[in-house]
Structures are given as C-alpha cells and as structure tokens.
Amino acid sequence: MRSVMDAFLHNTPGNHIAFMPAMEPLAARVGGMSYQSMSSDPAQWSSNLTRAGQLLQADALVLGFDDTLLAESCGANVQWQEDRPLITGVAVLPAVAEAINGRLQAAVETLGRLIQTTRNDFCCIAAMTGPVTLAARLDITDNQAGKLKQITVEIARALCNKRPDLLLFREDSSICKNDIGMPQRRAFNTLCNVARYFNIPTAIYVEGYTPKTLASIDKLKMDFYFFGETAEGTIPDPGMFLKLAQRVDGLGVALPFNDVTEALRHAELCRKTLAGKNILFTSAGDLARDTDLDTARAITSGLKSLC
C-alpha cells in the first residue's frame, strides 16, 4: 500500500495507480461513532481512519480534509446538523498563539498518532483549507489578511512538524472566481516555504473549477494537483488535464463512488487518456458516512485489478 503512494510522490509510477480517498466521515461510521465525537478524540480518529483505509485498500490516509476545521479554529462558529459541521456567524480571529485549538488541535495530535502507528503501511497526508477558501469562509477584510496569514503559517508549521508525507491544501470554487494574482500566490508561497523547510512536498485539491480556470490554478506551482468535482458538480473529463499533467510532478483525478461500473469505466478512461503521466485516483470530496461500503470495496478491488 505505502509503496504505491511512495512511487507516486517520487514520480516513479509502478505497476499500480495509487488510490488516495478522503473518508473521515465514513471512518467514523466504520468505528461505530459519530463524526463529531471522533473528531474530538485523537485515539479514535487515528484508529478509525486506519481501519477505513484497510477496508478500502487505500494507499494513503488523508487527515484534516474537513473544510470547517481551520475556520472553527480561526473563530468561526460551527453548528452540527445531522453529524455534519456547518459554519455559521461572523468569525473573530484569535491570537496567533491560540489558533491551534479544539478539533484542530485534536487533528494535529491525530496526525502524530497516525504517523507513529501506520507509516509502514500508509502514506500520511496532512490536509488544511487553502488560504483563498479560508479567507472567503471567514469573510476576511484587507486589514485582517495579515493576521490570518500568520495564523495559517502556525497551523502549517504544526502539521509539518509531525512530518507527514504531503501537505495538501483544499480549495473550493472560491479560488476560481477571479484570476489568481500576486496576493494569492504570495499566500501559497509562504505556506509552501513552511513545507519546504521540513522537506515536505505540497499539493492542492480543487473543487468547482472549469477548463478555463486551470491555467490560473497552474500559477500556484504546486508539486501535485488533485481535482474533485467540476463547477457543474460532475466528475472531470481527464482530457482537460493533459496540458497540466505534462508539467506537474503528479496529478490526481476523482472517481464516482456510487456505481462500480461507472467508476471503473472512468478509471480506465483516465488511465488511457493520461497514459505515461504520473496519476492517482481520489474521491470527489469526503466519502460520506452513508457511502455504500460494498460498492466502495468493489470499486477499490476493481482498481487494483485494473491497474
């Protein structure tokens, strides 16, 4: 399992294409508990995510993909509805030294546990909300931008200090609304410099994009680019990534997880369209709590046979 993801991260593709799902809500179900409870308990979070990874034959475990974690630690109010966290109200930024708190603090501890206990079997991916999406979620004003930047640097440093195999920034359609300019590039460069200090590669996971916005996203010069659903809410046509795949170290493409035939058909299309490129398969956002496990396991077993 780990060896396949290691090959992807070193741009030396082997006999199999790596599979890196985001699945923390599903992991809570596997552990027989609510996501709210799990995300406050590092021991259970680590254990359940590992069990889910084993069930789905994943090559990497993604920790912290929840896009409310950073917003909550930055002062946003989060309410739980049907075991899903939702951002409500206006955020009041905390002091920089107090930014790693609550569920985010639990996530940092969970990352350390994962790396200590599962690193021989899985690559461990630390995820955090990207700076553009985070600023949009918090409705940050220009005079708050500097403080938010300091906070995100502290969060990135805390995650990287645990030595994950990859630092992943999750961005939604907020990053696609306007052309990416120097302020956005500087925000990413600062965070990437933190990762480089620890010799950790960086990646971005983007949702809500269009073919026209890919060139703008490419300006960020990440090591790896992963793509969830498009702006239309569909699984992407791998042909739109051909140009980008020629430059980057590796590319991740989402698969549908509600239909075995469709998932494997799309995986085969990706394999043929992006032949010779360094690719992996991921999920379209988090695999939800109500994901059909039999279907998901059939898909992942099929991927191992396909690739």
pTM: 0.96
Per-residue pLDDT tens digits of the chain, which is 307 residues long: 789 999 999 998 777 899 999 999 999 999 999 999 999 999 999 999 999 999 999 999 999 999 999 999 999 999 999 999 999 877 889 899 899 999 999 999 999 999 999 989 999 999 999 999 999 999 888 778 889 999 999 999 999 999 999 999 999 999 988 888 898 899 999 999 999 999 999 999 999 999 888 888 988 989 999 999 999 999 999 999 999 998 899 999 999 999 999 999 999 999 999 999 999 999 999 999 999 999 999 999 999 887 6
CA distance 41 to 38: 5
For the chain, where are the alpha helices, taking DSSP H only? 2-9, 24-30, 35-38, 42-55, 69-73, 102-118, 131-138, 142-160, 182-197, 214-218, 242-245, 260-273, 293-306
What would the CATH number be for the domain defined by 2-306? 3.20.20.210
